[in-house]
Amino acid sequence: MSSKTILVTGSAGFIGFHLSQKLLTQNHQVVGFDSVNDYYDVSLKEARTKILNKSSNFSFIKGDLKDVKVLKKTFKQYRFDYVVNLAAQAGVRYSITNPQVYLDSNMQGFLNILEMCRHHKPEHLVYASSSSVYGANKEMPFSVKHNVDHPLSLYAASKKSNELMAHAYSTLYQLPTTGLRFFSVYGPFGRPDMALFIFTKAILEGRPIDVFNEGKMKRDFTYIDDIVEGIVRLLPRVAMPDSKWNGRDPNPASSFAPYRLYNIGNHQQVELLYFIETIEKKLNRKAIKNFMPIQEGDVPESLADIDELMEDVGFSPNTSIETGVSNFIDWYLDYYKIKK
């Protein structure tokens, strides 16, 4: 991929930060866009942005996707070859107590991105969806060809809505869009509201951890470097109409329009208790476990069918849970200056 100008929204976030870093090493011009809100520790977002700002090829714009004026100015100032929309209000459980935020950020914000792309015509819009869209589905592994009309949270519903909105714009304006359903992403500089961060912090502090669904949860944990590799491979593979698409037997993952959906996961299930054991081994400390029932909005297990992504771009995740957890904890101890 030759040098491109790429907009990464949510650049101060976990995935956006790592993606921006990778793109900068490939000599692309990266424009980061982020509101740097206080959903979690702002200093962590600022630390990520500080690292990115060390590159002369990186420009940062602090703004909200709901602010059309700032977006118009940004798209007018730069000619984006690719747009990667990772900015969103994250968190399944937070959507139960703060639903309005998800409509503002995930729906209105994404609509504004679609409108900007409609008028400024980048080669490709790649955007974040989520494995949470599979909701009440039980058949494993989750496939992009499965029906996903039974979400268990507003967060999941907002991500499914993004996929539908993208399809409408791909159809109406021939805007090439690719949606990525992320599966349990983890790694260094990860979010403080996610399990690995919460468990590591609590175990080091000698506090108990809540183990939901009595520890019977299974997740397709996917290391951040593998996720980023998948996104980078997909950027130049611009979504195209599927000549085999049949309206009488529609494939949800493609379309007569320039539209695609992919799962992006590790294709390996890890039981929650083994995940905790892996953290314990690395820290050489035992967790105090508080076993709890499953939480509202949670799915008991997830597993990604990644055949399409492997076939189309050679995606091949290869980071084991042991290596990934070890890398995160090494970062955590160094970042927070903790001695085991």
DSSP assignments along 41-67, one per residue:
-HHHHHHHHHHHTTSTTEEEEE--TT-
Neighbours of 180 (CB within 10 A): 23
Of 90, 320, 132, 314, give the one whose Cα is nearest residue 222.
320
Active site residue 155: yes
DSSP classification of residue 301: B
| Cα dihedral 235→237→241→247 (10° resolution) | -80
Beta strand 124-130 pairing with 82-85: parallel
Rounded CA-CA distance 223/74 in Å is 31
Which member of 39, 94, 127, 155 is catalytic? 155
Rounded CA-CA distance 115/110 in Å is 9
Rounded CA-CA distance 222/272 in Å is 14
DSSP assignments along 132-167, one per residue:
GGGTT--SSSB-TTS-----SSHHHHHHHHHHHHHH
Q: What share of the chain is helix, strand, coil (3-state, %, to 5)?
A: 45, 15, 40
Angle at which helices 321-335 and 272-283 cross, to 10°: 50
What is residue 228's three-state secondary structure?
Answer: helix
> Which residues are annotated as catalytic?
155
